[in-house]
Amino acid sequence: MKKENGRNSFRVIAVFILTSVILLTACNQKSGNNPADVPVIIGNEEAVLSTLYNHYSAEYRALAWQAFNIASERILDITNGTESTDSLAVVVDIDETLLDNSPHQALTILTGDPYPAGWNEWCSLAVAEAIPGAVSFLNLADSLGFSIFYVSNRHEDPLYEPTFKNLVEKGFPQVSSNSLLLRKKATATNPDPSNKEARRKFIESGGFNIILYAGDNIGDFYSDKEKGDERLKRAMEDRSSFGTTYIVLPNPMYGNWPSAAGSDGTPESYARLLHIMTEPFRKR
Protein backbone atom coordinates (compact mmCIF):
# COMPACT_ATOMS: atom_id res chain seq x y z
CA MET A 1 0.00 0.00 0.00
CA LYS A 2 2.83 2.40 0.82
CA LYS A 3 4.44 1.67 -2.52
CA GLU A 4 1.24 2.33 -4.44
CA ASN A 5 0.61 5.57 -2.54
CA GLY A 6 4.14 6.64 -3.37
CA ARG A 7 3.55 5.97 -7.07
CA ASN A 8 0.30 7.90 -7.02
CA SER A 9 2.02 10.84 -5.34
CA PHE A 10 4.80 10.70 -7.90
CA ARG A 11 2.22 10.87 -10.71
CA VAL A 12 0.72 13.99 -9.09
CA ILE A 13 4.19 15.51 -8.83
CA ALA A 14 4.96 14.71 -12.47
CA VAL A 15 1.68 16.26 -13.62
CA PHE A 16 2.43 19.41 -11.62
CA ILE A 17 5.90 19.82 -13.09
CA LEU A 18 4.67 19.14 -16.64
CA THR A 19 1.89 21.70 -16.22
CA SER A 20 4.40 24.28 -14.95
CA VAL A 21 6.63 23.68 -17.97
CA ILE A 22 3.67 24.05 -20.36
CA LEU A 23 2.60 27.31 -18.70
CA LEU A 24 6.13 28.71 -18.86
CA THR A 25 6.41 27.74 -22.53
CA ALA A 26 3.08 29.40 -23.33
CA CYS A 27 4.12 32.57 -21.55
CA ASN A 28 7.42 32.59 -23.40
CA GLN A 29 5.74 32.20 -26.79
CA LYS A 30 3.18 34.88 -26.01
CA SER A 31 5.86 37.37 -25.01
CA GLY A 32 7.86 36.91 -28.18
CA ASN A 33 10.40 34.50 -26.71
CA ASN A 34 11.86 37.21 -24.49
CA PRO A 35 13.06 35.56 -21.25
CA ALA A 36 12.65 38.85 -19.42
CA ASP A 37 8.89 38.69 -20.01
CA VAL A 38 8.48 35.22 -18.51
CA PRO A 39 6.91 35.54 -15.06
CA VAL A 40 8.96 34.16 -12.20
CA ILE A 41 6.89 31.44 -10.54
CA ILE A 42 9.63 29.92 -8.40
CA GLY A 43 9.66 30.83 -4.72
CA ASN A 44 12.26 30.01 -2.09
CA GLU A 45 14.95 31.51 -4.32
CA GLU A 46 17.61 31.19 -1.63
CA ALA A 47 17.49 27.40 -2.06
CA VAL A 48 17.58 27.29 -5.86
CA LEU A 49 21.32 27.55 -6.47
CA SER A 50 22.25 25.18 -3.66
CA THR A 51 19.82 22.56 -5.01
CA LEU A 52 21.02 22.96 -8.58
CA TYR A 53 24.65 22.79 -7.35
CA ASN A 54 24.10 19.50 -5.55
CA HIS A 55 22.36 17.90 -8.50
CA TYR A 56 24.18 19.23 -11.56
CA SER A 57 27.67 20.44 -10.73
CA ALA A 58 30.90 18.57 -11.35
CA GLU A 59 32.27 20.34 -8.27
CA TYR A 60 29.74 18.66 -5.99
CA ARG A 61 30.63 15.23 -7.36
CA ALA A 62 34.33 16.03 -6.95
CA LEU A 63 33.77 16.94 -3.29
CA ALA A 64 31.85 13.70 -2.70
CA TRP A 65 34.56 11.61 -4.33
CA GLN A 66 37.17 13.51 -2.35
CA ALA A 67 35.37 12.75 0.92
CA PHE A 68 35.05 9.04 0.20
CA ASN A 69 38.59 8.80 -1.17
CA ILE A 70 39.84 10.17 2.16
CA ALA A 71 37.53 7.80 4.04
CA SER A 72 38.91 4.86 2.04
CA GLU A 73 42.49 5.87 2.80
CA ARG A 74 41.64 6.11 6.50
CA ILE A 75 40.19 2.62 6.82
CA LEU A 76 43.07 1.16 4.81
CA ASP A 77 45.52 2.85 7.19
CA ILE A 78 43.59 1.51 10.19
CA THR A 79 43.56 -1.99 8.72
CA ASN A 80 47.32 -1.91 8.24
CA GLY A 81 47.79 -1.00 11.88
CA THR A 82 45.52 -3.56 13.53
CA GLU A 83 45.39 -7.34 13.76
CA SER A 84 41.59 -7.57 13.55
CA THR A 85 38.71 -5.33 12.47
CA ASP A 86 36.04 -7.52 14.08
CA SER A 87 35.06 -4.92 16.70
CA LEU A 88 35.64 -1.84 14.52
CA ALA A 89 32.65 0.05 13.13
CA VAL A 90 31.92 2.70 10.53
CA VAL A 91 28.83 4.83 11.20
CA VAL A 92 27.21 6.68 8.30
CA ASP A 93 24.31 9.04 7.86
CA ILE A 94 22.01 8.39 4.89
CA ASP A 95 20.44 11.52 3.40
CA GLU A 96 22.91 13.65 1.44
CA THR A 97 25.64 11.32 2.69
CA LEU A 98 24.68 8.10 0.89
CA LEU A 99 21.47 9.01 -0.94
CA ASP A 100 20.77 12.09 -3.07
CA ASN A 101 17.44 13.75 -2.24
CA SER A 102 17.90 16.85 -4.38
CA PRO A 103 14.86 15.89 -6.54
CA HIS A 104 12.65 16.30 -3.46
CA GLN A 105 14.32 19.60 -2.66
CA ALA A 106 13.60 20.73 -6.23
CA LEU A 107 9.95 19.82 -5.74
CA THR A 108 9.66 21.93 -2.57
CA ILE A 109 10.98 24.91 -4.52
CA LEU A 110 8.61 24.41 -7.46
CA THR A 111 5.55 23.91 -5.28
CA GLY A 112 6.45 26.42 -2.59
CA ASP A 113 5.67 23.78 0.03
CA PRO A 114 8.70 23.29 2.30
CA TYR A 115 9.80 20.12 4.06
CA PRO A 116 8.15 17.92 5.27
CA ALA A 117 5.69 18.27 2.39
CA GLY A 118 6.19 15.36 0.00
CA TRP A 119 9.08 13.88 2.00
CA ASN A 120 7.45 10.60 2.98
CA GLU A 121 6.11 10.16 -0.53
CA TRP A 122 9.56 10.74 -2.03
CA CYS A 123 11.28 8.32 0.36
CA SER A 124 8.59 5.71 -0.23
CA LEU A 125 9.49 5.63 -3.91
CA ALA A 126 12.93 4.27 -2.91
CA VAL A 127 14.51 5.70 -6.06
CA ALA A 128 17.11 8.10 -4.61
CA GLU A 129 20.46 7.78 -6.38
CA ALA A 130 23.66 6.99 -4.47
CA ILE A 131 26.03 9.84 -3.69
CA PRO A 132 29.19 9.49 -5.83
CA GLY A 133 31.79 7.32 -4.12
CA ALA A 134 29.52 6.13 -1.30
CA VAL A 135 28.84 2.60 -2.51
CA SER A 136 32.46 1.80 -3.36
CA PHE A 137 33.67 3.14 0.01
CA LEU A 138 31.26 1.06 2.08
CA ASN A 139 31.90 -2.05 0.02
CA LEU A 140 35.61 -1.54 0.70
CA ALA A 141 34.86 -1.24 4.43
CA ASP A 142 32.78 -4.42 4.21
CA SER A 143 35.56 -6.31 2.42
CA LEU A 144 38.04 -5.26 5.12
CA GLY A 145 35.82 -6.65 7.88
CA PHE A 146 34.46 -3.43 9.37
CA SER A 147 30.90 -3.43 10.71
CA ILE A 148 28.69 -0.77 9.14
CA PHE A 149 25.82 1.05 10.84
CA TYR A 150 23.36 3.32 9.04
CA VAL A 151 22.16 6.01 11.47
CA SER A 152 19.53 8.32 9.98
CA ASN A 153 16.89 10.74 11.21
CA ARG A 154 14.37 9.41 8.74
CA HIS A 155 11.35 8.36 10.80
CA GLU A 156 11.31 4.62 11.35
CA ASP A 157 7.55 4.68 10.84
CA PRO A 158 6.72 4.80 7.94
CA LEU A 159 10.11 4.94 6.18
CA TYR A 160 11.98 1.85 7.38
CA GLU A 161 11.00 -0.50 4.55
CA PRO A 162 11.53 1.89 1.60
CA THR A 163 14.84 3.09 3.09
CA PHE A 164 16.00 -0.51 3.46
CA LYS A 165 14.94 -1.22 -0.13
CA ASN A 166 16.63 1.87 -1.56
CA LEU A 167 19.95 1.12 0.15
CA VAL A 168 19.98 -2.53 -0.92
CA GLU A 169 19.04 -1.77 -4.52
CA LYS A 170 21.84 0.79 -4.80
CA GLY A 171 24.39 -1.78 -3.68
CA PHE A 172 25.11 -0.76 -0.10
CA PRO A 173 26.41 -3.66 2.06
CA GLN A 174 25.41 -5.02 5.48
CA VAL A 175 21.91 -3.50 5.43
CA SER A 176 19.95 -5.35 8.12
CA SER A 177 17.55 -4.84 11.00
CA ASN A 178 20.60 -4.59 13.28
CA SER A 179 22.50 -2.04 11.23
CA LEU A 180 19.73 0.29 10.00
CA LEU A 181 18.94 2.65 12.89
CA LEU A 182 16.27 5.21 12.02
CA ARG A 183 14.59 7.76 14.29
CA LYS A 184 12.03 6.35 16.69
CA LYS A 185 9.19 8.25 18.35
CA ALA A 186 9.97 10.37 21.39
CA THR A 187 9.68 8.66 24.77
CA ALA A 188 10.18 9.65 28.39
CA THR A 189 13.65 8.09 28.35
CA ASN A 190 14.52 9.54 24.93
CA PRO A 191 12.68 12.86 24.57
CA ASP A 192 14.88 14.03 21.67
CA PRO A 193 15.19 11.07 19.26
CA SER A 194 16.63 13.32 16.54
CA ASN A 195 19.81 13.51 18.61
CA LYS A 196 21.88 10.58 17.32
CA GLU A 197 24.00 10.31 20.44
CA ALA A 198 21.78 7.62 21.98
CA ARG A 199 22.09 5.46 18.88
CA ARG A 200 25.85 5.90 18.77
CA LYS A 201 26.06 4.83 22.42
CA PHE A 202 23.83 1.84 21.60
CA ILE A 203 26.33 0.75 18.94
CA GLU A 204 29.22 1.13 21.38
CA SER A 205 27.33 -0.84 24.04
CA GLY A 206 27.43 -3.78 21.64
CA GLY A 207 31.19 -3.88 21.93
CA PHE A 208 31.98 -1.83 18.83
CA ASN A 209 34.63 0.84 18.56
CA ILE A 210 33.47 3.49 16.08
CA ILE A 211 36.57 4.48 14.17
CA LEU A 212 35.00 6.61 11.43
CA TYR A 213 31.82 8.63 10.87
CA ALA A 214 30.46 10.06 7.61
CA GLY A 215 27.73 12.68 7.42
CA ASP A 216 26.62 16.05 6.08
CA ASN A 217 25.66 17.63 9.41
CA ILE A 218 27.64 18.21 12.61
CA GLY A 219 25.03 16.16 14.45
CA ASP A 220 26.21 13.13 12.50
CA PHE A 221 29.46 13.23 14.49
CA TYR A 222 28.58 14.52 17.95
CA SER A 223 25.67 16.10 19.80
CA ASP A 224 24.88 19.31 17.93
CA LYS A 225 23.47 21.63 20.58
CA GLU A 226 25.60 24.75 20.24
CA LYS A 227 24.48 27.85 18.34
CA GLY A 228 26.32 30.62 16.54
CA ASP A 229 29.91 31.23 17.64
CA GLU A 230 29.81 28.31 20.11
CA ARG A 231 29.05 25.90 17.28
CA LEU A 232 31.94 27.28 15.26
CA LYS A 233 34.19 27.09 18.33
CA ARG A 234 33.33 23.40 18.82
CA ALA A 235 34.17 22.67 15.19
CA MET A 236 37.46 24.51 15.60
CA GLU A 237 38.29 22.44 18.68
CA ASP A 238 37.60 19.24 16.71
CA ARG A 239 39.42 20.36 13.57
CA SER A 240 41.98 17.56 13.76
CA SER A 241 39.15 14.99 13.60
CA PHE A 242 37.82 16.22 10.25
CA GLY A 243 39.32 14.07 7.53
CA THR A 244 40.53 11.51 10.05
CA THR A 245 37.55 10.40 12.16
CA TYR A 246 34.83 12.68 10.76
CA ILE A 247 34.20 12.65 6.99
CA VAL A 248 31.98 15.57 5.95
CA LEU A 249 29.86 15.60 2.78
CA PRO A 250 28.76 18.98 1.35
CA ASN A 251 25.09 19.91 1.76
CA PRO A 252 24.16 23.58 1.32
CA MET A 253 20.48 22.68 0.76
CA TYR A 254 19.41 22.16 4.38
CA GLY A 255 20.60 21.16 7.84
CA ASN A 256 21.13 22.61 11.31
CA TRP A 257 23.47 25.31 10.09
CA PRO A 258 20.90 27.98 9.02
CA SER A 259 19.14 28.09 12.40
CA ALA A 260 22.49 27.81 14.22
CA ALA A 261 23.63 30.89 12.29
CA GLY A 262 20.54 32.81 13.40
CA SER A 263 18.10 32.30 10.53
CA ASP A 264 14.46 31.46 11.14
CA GLY A 265 13.83 30.87 7.45
CA THR A 266 12.35 34.31 6.77
CA PRO A 267 13.68 36.82 4.22
CA GLU A 268 14.26 39.25 7.08
CA SER A 269 16.58 36.84 8.87
CA TYR A 270 18.54 36.19 5.68
CA ALA A 271 18.86 39.94 5.12
CA ARG A 272 20.12 40.40 8.66
CA LEU A 273 22.83 37.78 8.20
CA LEU A 274 23.87 39.28 4.86
CA HIS A 275 24.01 42.72 6.47
CA ILE A 276 26.41 41.41 9.12
CA MET A 277 28.64 39.95 6.39
CA THR A 278 28.98 43.36 4.69
CA GLU A 279 30.27 45.10 7.81
CA PRO A 280 33.84 45.46 6.41
CA PHE A 281 32.48 47.78 3.71
CA ARG A 282 30.92 50.06 6.32
CA LYS A 283 34.24 50.39 8.17
CA ARG A 284 36.06 51.89 5.19
pLDDT in tens, 245-275: 999 999 999 999 999 999 988 889 989 999 9
Residue range 58-102+126-253 in CATH 3.40.50.1000: yes
Which SS3 state, helix, strand or coil, does residue 104 take?
helix
The C-alpha atoms of residue 270 and residue 276 are separated, in whole angstroms, by 10
Q: Global pTM?
A: 0.84
For every residue of 17-66, DSSP letters joined together read HHHHHHHHHHHHHHTTS-GGGSPP----GGGHHHHHHHHH-HHHHHHHHH
Q: Output the CA torsion 257→43→46→215 (10° steps).
A: 40
Cis link prior to 114 (omega < 30° from 0)?
Answer: no
Contact of 41 with 19, CB cutoff 8 Å: no
Contact of 120 with 158, CB cutoff 8 Å: yes
CA 214 to chain centre: 11
Contact of 166 with 99, CB cutoff 8 Å: yes
Which contacts (CB < 8 Å, 24+ apart) does range 239-243 have?
A: 243/70
C-alpha torsion sign, points 208, 193, 119, 56 = negative
pLDDT of residue 284: 72
**pLDDT tens sequence across 162-186:** 999 999 999 999 999 999 999 999 9
The C-alpha atoms of residue 107 and residue 50 are separated, in whole angstroms, by 14
Q: Which position has the higher pLDDT, 9 or 47?
A: 47
Q: Among 30-34, 54-58, 151-155, whose mean pLDDT is lowest?
A: 30-34
pLDDT of residue 46: 67
Closest CA to 105 of 148, 143, 157, 49: 49
pLDDT of residue 227: 87
The C-alpha atoms of residue 163 and residue 103 are separated, in whole angstroms, by 16
Can you count the helices (H) and strands (E) in the chain?
12, 7
For every residue of 223-248, DSSP letters joined together read -----HHHHHHHHHHTGGGBTTTEEE
- Residue burial 183-195, b: 16+ Cβ < 10 Å; e: rest: beeeeeeeeebeb
Indicate whether 22 pLDDT > 50.
no
Which contacts (CB < 8 Å, 24+ apart) does range 229-233 have?
A: 231/260
Indicate whether 16 pLDDT > 90.
no
